[in-house]
């Protein structure tokens, strides 16, 4: 075969030819032969490679989604493999035939006598070949939509004999071919651009749009399914039976009643003040107070000239308790409450009747030792994820003795002993409610909650709307130390984002427009509300003597919860009267 090739080479050493990529280059016949063979190999390899990637993807998806591939499609793929082999064999056969020079059907009679006509015909043919080649390029680069492909394919198979293009120039009806090529070009140029498809009504649609619509549809379906699953789960959990519906109605009724009660106007404040002063006087005169005025001033400090004694939270995490004690201290009822219920014995121990001012209260005995710093059982033990407890001793709040007794009495009543470690973390209104009993009613306005992902979040009081929003404004506009005792909690920051993480590490934060820094996840006492200037005064339990006055909007931005109680003054005064009647 090599000899034959050499022979051919001798016949036409070099020739100007149209290469597959339409460029006119000088090549020997052997080069053209080799190129055809090697490029065919490359073409088949590239096709196989592309197919392999797609088949892998399809098989993976088939496995994951458990969707079997149709037998018909499998057969079509296998047929396609056969087609490649057939095409390859045909190419080899034809090249061999050309090399051997035994291709008889290429030998034809030339009927053209006119040389000029022949050259024109040749030129026309060459042009045509050029156009056909650019058609191949277009088809091969796959820039056509499937509709155009089918159309072209039909035209070629239906209108022309499939071999016509490859016959000798003299056998070809160039008019037919030219018409065909024109039509094919029309098809290619006329419809849509690559990446577009044509609908039945000839409207051109961008594939990107269709794809994004499909993706959106798919996502919305998935979201909907998740939502439905969640709903189903909730319904399952709630099991809304008739009984539960009744309970719900009952709960709503209570809530409405509670709401109504909260809006209820307090008895005239001067009247309460007068009644309390009168009662205190009578109790004092009859020696029914457990603590004298002098002792009261000794253990709690004088409030004369509006100066409140020092009270500072130390290294125990009971900010809520210290804040609540400070909130109580700000109440005009404080003196009556502690003087009727607290007593220092001669041995230095204390008797505290809890609830305060309740004749049926439980007496809690506090020894002087219980007011001293305690050894920390968890010293140097791991605290949280990355820190260690570095407090060798747990110190009670710093301040007058009476406050320390109240703190210790609360802890002892709740935990059975003055376990300061156990008392870490809590809510101010719990403290107040325990000390005040039935005379104190919980009045919470809370924005903190668990979100849909189950994470705890503290969006702030400003986010409250509806009934809660109304109650918040009502609370601020009607706050009266005579009626309310309140602690307020700052926002809590988990390390969800960079800002939160920095705030957590710094240990303080500031909301927009505020000149004060606040400690996150901390309880403050609310000591005063200025309704005219619309400001709130809060005190940090770390140093209760320092007042922090902030406008309403910054208050709502900074704090997430109001943990308060509302004093039932009638009940409180009745309790005091009962002490009198009991003595009588």
Work out which of 52, 63, 232, 255 binds another protein, going by CB under 8 A: 232
Give burial (CB, 10 Å; 0-12/13-18/19+) of 310: middle
With CB under 8 A as the contact rule, which of the stretches 34-42, 328-336, 360-368, 370-378 interacts with another protein?
34-42
Total residues binding another protein (CB under 8 A): 74
Q: Assess contact for 151 and 192: CB atoms under 8 A.
A: no
Shortest reach from residue 105's CB to another protein, in Å: 10
Shortest reach from residue 40's CB to another protein, in Å: 6
Residue ranges in 237-276 that form contacts with another protein under rule CB under 8 A: none
205 forms part of the interface with another protein (CB under 8 A): no
Shortest reach from residue 245's CB to another protein, in Å: 22
212 forms part of the interface with another protein (CB under 8 A): no
Shortest reach from residue 73's CB to another protein, in Å: 5
Give burial (CB, 10 Å; 0-12/13-18/19+) of 262: middle
**457/358 Cα distance (integer angstroms):** 38
Nearest in space to 491 (alpha carbons), one of 565, 566, 554, 423: 554
Task: Output the CA–CA distances (angstroms, integers) from residue 535 to 368, 488, 510, 532, 547, in the order listed.
Answer: 40, 14, 17, 8, 12
**48/165 Cα distance (integer angstroms):** 28
202 forms part of the interface with another protein (CB under 8 A): no
146 forms part of the interface with another protein (CB under 8 A): yes
583 forms part of the interface with another protein (CB under 8 A): no
Residue ranges in 46-75 that form contacts with another protein under rule CB under 8 A: 47, 50-51, 54-55, 58, 61-62, 65, 67, 69-70, 73
Across 461-473, b (16+ Cβ under 10 Å) vs e yields: bbebeeeebebbe
185 forms part of the interface with another protein (CB under 8 A): no
**151/444 Cα distance (integer angstroms):** 75
Nearer to another protein, 188 or 322 (CB): 188
Residue ranges in 457-516 that form contacts with another protein under rule CB under 8 A: none
43 forms part of the interface with another protein (CB under 8 A): yes
Residue ranges in 354-393 that form contacts with another protein under rule CB under 8 A: none
198 forms part of the interface with another protein (CB under 8 A): no
Work out which of 2, 10, 102, 109 binds another protein, going by CB under 8 A: 109
534 forms part of the interface with another protein (CB under 8 A): no
CA 170 to chain CA centroid, nearest Å: 75
Shortest reach from residue 29's CB to another protein, in Å: 4
11 forms part of the interface with another protein (CB under 8 A): yes
User: Which structure tokens are listed for 395?
Assistant: 């110190």
149 forms part of the interface with another protein (CB under 8 A): yes
Neighbours of 232 (CB within 10 A): 10
417 forms part of the interface with another protein (CB under 8 A): no
Nearer to another protein, 15 or 250 (CB): 15
Q: How many residues does the chain have?
A: 584
Work out which of 140, 199, 200, 347 binds another protein, going by CB under 8 A: 140
Work out which of 3, 110, 242, 512 binds another protein, going by CB under 8 A: 110
140 contacts: CB under 8 Å, gap ≥ 6: none
Q: Assess contact for 392 and 382: CB atoms under 8 A.
A: no
133 forms part of the interface with another protein (CB under 8 A): yes
Phi, psi of 389 (to 5 degrees): -75, 115
CA 201 to chain CA centroid, nearest Å: 44
3-state SS class at 449: strand
* Helix H or strand E encompassing 548: strand 547-551
12 forms part of the interface with another protein (CB under 8 A): yes
Work out which of 6, 24, 52, 94 binds another protein, going by CB under 8 A: 94
Shortest reach from residue 35's CB to another protein, in Å: 8
Nearer to another protein, 80 or 360 (CB): 80
**517/511 Cα distance (integer angstroms):** 8
With CB under 8 A as the contact rule, which of the stretches 79-87, 317-325, 328-336, 402-410 interacts with another protein?
79-87
Nearest in space to 503 (alpha carbons), one of 523, 524, 525, 521: 521
517 forms part of the interface with another protein (CB under 8 A): no
15 forms part of the interface with another protein (CB under 8 A): yes
168 forms part of the interface with another protein (CB under 8 A): yes
Task: Output the CA–CA distances (angstroms, integers) from residue 415 to 27, 371, 397, 412, in the order listed.
Answer: 101, 16, 18, 5
């Amino acid at each position: 075969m090599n000899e034959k090739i050499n022979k051919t080479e001798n016949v036409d050493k070099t020739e100007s030819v149209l290469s597959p990529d339409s460029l006119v280059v000088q090549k020997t016949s052997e080069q053209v032969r080799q190129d055809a063979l090697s490029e065919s190999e490359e073409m088949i390899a590239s096709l196989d490679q592309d197919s392999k990637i797609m088949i892998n993807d399809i098989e993976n998806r088939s496995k994951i989604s458990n969707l079997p591939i149709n037998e018909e499609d499998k057969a079509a793929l296998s047929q396609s493999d056969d087609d490649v082999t057939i095409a390859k064999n045909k190419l080899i056969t034809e090249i061999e035939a050309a090399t051997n020079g035994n291709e008889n059907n290429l030998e034809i009679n030339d009927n053209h006598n006119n040389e000029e006509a022949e050259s024109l015909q040749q030129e026309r043919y060459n042009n045509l070949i050029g156009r056909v080649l650019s058609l191949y390029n277009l088809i091969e680069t796959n820039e056509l939509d499937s509709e155009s492909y089918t159309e072209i394919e039909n035209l070629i198979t239906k209108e022309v004999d499939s071999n016509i293009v490859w016959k000798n120039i003299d056998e070809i009806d160039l008019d037919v071919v030219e018409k065909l090529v024109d039509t094919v070009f029309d098809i290619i140029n006329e419809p849509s651009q690559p990446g577009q498809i044509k609908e039945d009504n000839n409207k051109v649609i961008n594939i990107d749009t269709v794809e994004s619509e499909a993706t959106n549809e798919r996502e919305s379906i998935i979201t909907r399914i998740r939502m439905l699953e969640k709903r189903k789960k909730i319904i399952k959990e709630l099991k809304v039976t008739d009984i539960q519906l009744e309970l719900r109605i009952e709960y709503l009724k209570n809530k409405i009643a509670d709401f109504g009660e909260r809006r209820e106007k307090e008895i005239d404040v001067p009247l309460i003040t007068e009644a309390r002063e009168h009662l205190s006087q009578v109790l004092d005169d009859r020696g029914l107070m457990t603590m004298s005025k002098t002792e009261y001033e000794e253990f709690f400090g004088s409030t004369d000239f509006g100066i409140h004694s020092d009270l500072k939270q130390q290294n125990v995490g009971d900010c809520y308790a210290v804040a609540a004690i400070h909130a109580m201290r700000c109440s005009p009822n404080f003196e009556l409450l502690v003087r009727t219920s607290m007593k220092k014995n001669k041995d230095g121990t204390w008797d505290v009747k809890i609830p305060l001012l309740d004749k049926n209260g439980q007496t809690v005995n506090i020894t002087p030792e219980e007011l001293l710093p305690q050894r920390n059982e968890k010293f140097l033990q791991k605290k949280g994820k990355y820190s260690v407890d570095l407090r060798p001793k747990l110190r009670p709040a710093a301040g007058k003795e009476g406050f320390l007794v109240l703190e210790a009495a609360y802890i002892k009543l709740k935990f059975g002993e003055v376990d300061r470690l156990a008392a870490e973390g809590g809510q101010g209104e719990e403290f107040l409610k325990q000390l005040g009993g039935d005379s104190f009613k919980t009045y919470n306005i809370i924005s903190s909650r668990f979100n849909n992902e189950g994470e705890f979040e503290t969006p702030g009081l400003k986010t409250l709307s509806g009934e809660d929003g109304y109650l918040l404004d009502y609370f601020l506009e009607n706050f009266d130390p005579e009626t309310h005792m309140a602690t307020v909690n700052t926002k809590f920051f988990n390390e969800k984002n960079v800002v939160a993480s920095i705030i957590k590490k710094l240990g303080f934060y500031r909301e927009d427009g505020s000149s004060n820094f606040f400690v996150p996840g901390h309880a403050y006492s609310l000591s005063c509300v200025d309704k005219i200037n619309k400001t709130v005064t809060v005190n940090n339990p770390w140093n209760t003597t320092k007042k922090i006055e902030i406008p309403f909007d910054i208050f709502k931005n900074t704090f997430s919860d109001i943990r308060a109680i509302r004093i039932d003054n009638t009940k409180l005064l009745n309790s005091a009267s009962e002490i009198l009647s009991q003595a009588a």
